[in-house]
Amino acid sequence: MRHTILTQSHQDLGHLARHMTDIMHRVLHSSFSTGQKPPDWVPAVDICEMCDHWEVIVELAGVRREDIEVYTENRHLTITGWRHDPTSPEKIGLHQMEIEQGQFRRRILLPAGVNDDAIAARYRDGMLRIRIPKR
Amino acid sequence: MAIIPWRGRTLPVATLASLREEMNDLLARFWSHTSEPFGLAEWSPALDVSETDDAVLVHAEIPGIDPKELDIAVVGDTLTIRGEKKDETEREGRNFHRVERRYGSFTRSLRLPTPVDAEHVTARAAAGVLEVRLPKKEEARPKRIQIKTD
């Protein structure tokens, strides 16, 4: 009896392992097929709920407004863009480089019950604020 | 032992892909902060320090901070920037589901690479980046040497 249970568990585990392998392959395959390379840096995000809307706050210091793109697709909100080198092009030396530059991307699952046709974004002083009205 | 049959063909994959993306984002954010001095402050702004022919330039990431509230001082060969990022999460009627930004006061000091003229330091801020310009002392500026031809 005990033996049978063990065998059953082992079979279940075997199934589970095969399922996991299958899923991982699909995940890897799906991420390859999107052709997206990982971003150079990832901005910090706060997400806050208020009575009639949600607010997504993204820190994008030094990014120009025209270099930011915000879009929704498939129940996700994506914020992507580019940060150029903030230092002077006339520099003759660089002593410290902590501000990350290059492409950034952030993808956030939208909360349920929002009106994604009325999302508004504003950018000021390096802060992007995205307002997502509730339905 | 009950294992829920995996019937979905697209949804679990999409969810996992999204989960994976979130994990990658979190890891990337974790690693990007490892160069910061742990334990000294809750947070401090990232700095770029560069040098032109006639000045040392310091750029600091200060998103959401009013530059007027910063305190910038040069003493000897050290530049110190002090300030505070106001905590938004404490405000009434706001229910935060995710807080990755860091808040609080900070002090960041930096040994300057060359002697500077502390009387003529200027600072300006644009799009959440502070630029401090510290003119080099005459003796620290590069001297170009003319090459004569016979």
pLDDT at A82: 96
Mean pLDDT on B101-126: 93
Query: Chain B window 36-55: which residues touch A at a Cβ cutoff of 8 Å?
Result: 46-53
pLDDT at B35: 47
Say whether pLDDT at B130 is over 70.
yes
Q: Measured between alpha carbons, how far is A61 from B61 in angstroms, rounded to an integer? A: 6
Q: Is B1 contained in some domain?
A: no
pLDDT tens, chain A, 135 aa long: 444 444 555 566 767 777 777 676 666 555 554 556 778 899 999 999 999 999 999 999 999 999 999 999 988 999 999 999 989 888 999 999 999 999 999 999 998 899 989 999 999 999 999 999 999
Instruction: Inform me whether the C-beta atom of residue B129 falls under 8 Å from chain A C-beta atoms.
Output: yes
At B103, the pLDDT band (50, 70, 90 cuts) reads: confident
Report which of residues B34 and B30 the model is more confident about.
Answer: B30
Domain that holds residue B82: 44-89+101-139
Select the residue of B50, B97, B100 nearest A44 (Cβ to Cβ): B100
* CATH code at position B57: 2.60.40.790
Q: Is B122 contained in some domain?
A: yes
At B141, the pLDDT band (50, 70, 90 cuts) reads: confident
Give the residue from B68, B67, B80 showing the smallest Cα distance to B108: B80
Other CB atoms within 10 Å distance of the CB of residue A119: 19
Q: Is B2 contained in some domain?
A: no
At B140, the pLDDT band (50, 70, 90 cuts) reads: confident
* A38 → chain B, closest CA residue: B24
Size (chain A), residues: 135
Q: Which residues of A touch B4 (CB under 8 A)?
A: none
Q: Is B95 contained in some domain?
A: no
Handedness of CA B95, B19, A68, A127 (dihedral sign): positive
Query: Chain B window 62-101: which residues touch A at a Cβ cutoff of 8 Å?
Result: 62-65, 88-89, 93-101
Half-sphere exposure of A2 (CA within 13 A, CB side): 0
Say whether pLDDT at B33 is over 60.
no
**Inter-residue contact B48 to A94 (CB < 8 Å):** yes
Q: Is B96 contained in some domain?
A: no
Say whether pLDDT at B21 is over 80.
no
SS3 of residue B59 by DSSP: strand
Q: Which residues of A touch B95 (CB under 8 A)?
A: 48-50
Q: Is B56 contained in some domain?
A: yes
pLDDT at B13: 64
Select the residue of A9, A26, A127 nearest B64 (Cβ to Cβ): A127
Per-residue pLDDT tens digits for B64-93: 999 999 999 999 899 999 999 888 887 888
Give the residue from B33, B53, B28, B56 showing the smallest Cα distance to B45: B33
Q: Which two tokens stand for residue B141?
A: 């500026």
What radius of gyration do chain A's Cα atoms show? 22
Q: How many domains does chain B have?
A: 1
